Amino acid sequence: MTQHSKTVRGGRPAFFDSPETDRLLAMIVRLLSEQSVLAERVKTLETLLDQLGVLTAEQIEQFTPSPQVDEAWMQTRMQLIKDVLESGANIEGSTK
């Protein structure tokens, strides 16, 4: 698939003392965008399931994971926390 270039001739400006801060902000915003996309996909599914009579919104709200499922999810959560908070740990001078 050919991709159209995202390069902007003339560039875009930075505003903070370090341009890296602008870059980080752009990344956070992009993540926020993906979070919004995912949330809307979940809501789409829930709405359709409800409309088709498969599940009601109430059933979804009432859901509690079984102890095994709860344990598995906890592992995943911990892994996510480590993955995110420990990334960048190799950066010299950053908090270990």
Partner 1 sequence: MAGLNHTLALKKNLDQRARERFTSSLRAYTLVDLADQLRSDYSEEQTAVEHPHQSGEDVHRFLKSRDLFKWYSSLRCTAQELVWQSTLRALDEDRTTLAGLSGVTQVAPEKSAVGGSLALDPKLSLPSYIDTMDVHLMPGNYQGDREDVSVHPGAVYDNGLEVFSFGVMGEHLDDIGHSMANFTRLRWPGLTVDTVVDVGCTIGHNTLPWKQAFPDAQVYGLDIAAPCLRYGHARAESLGVAAHFRQANCDQLPFDDGSVDVVFSSMFLHELPRNVINDFFKEAYRILRPGGLIIHMELPPNEALAPYDAFYLDWDCFYNNEPFYKEFRDLSYPALCRDAGFDESAFFQATLPRYTYVDEQEFRDAIDRTASFDEDTGRLSDTITWYAFGSRKQG
Positions touching partner 1 (CB under 8 A) are 1-10, 12-16, 21-22, 25-26, 29-30, 32-33, 36-37, 40-41, 44
Which C-beta is closer to partner 1: that of 1 or that of 52?
1
DSSP 71: H
Which C-beta is closer to partner 1: that of 11 or that of 53?
11
For the bound state, the minimum distance from the C-beta of residue 59 to partner 1, rounded and expressed in Å, comes to 23
Q: How far is CA 58 from CA 11, 54, 61, 70, in A?
A: 50, 12, 5, 20
Give CA–CA dist 63/59, Å, rounded.
6
**Paired tokens of 25:** 């902000």
For the bound state, the minimum distance from the C-beta of residue 77 to partner 1, rounded and expressed in Å, comes to 24
Which C-beta is closer to partner 1: that of 15 or that of 63?
15
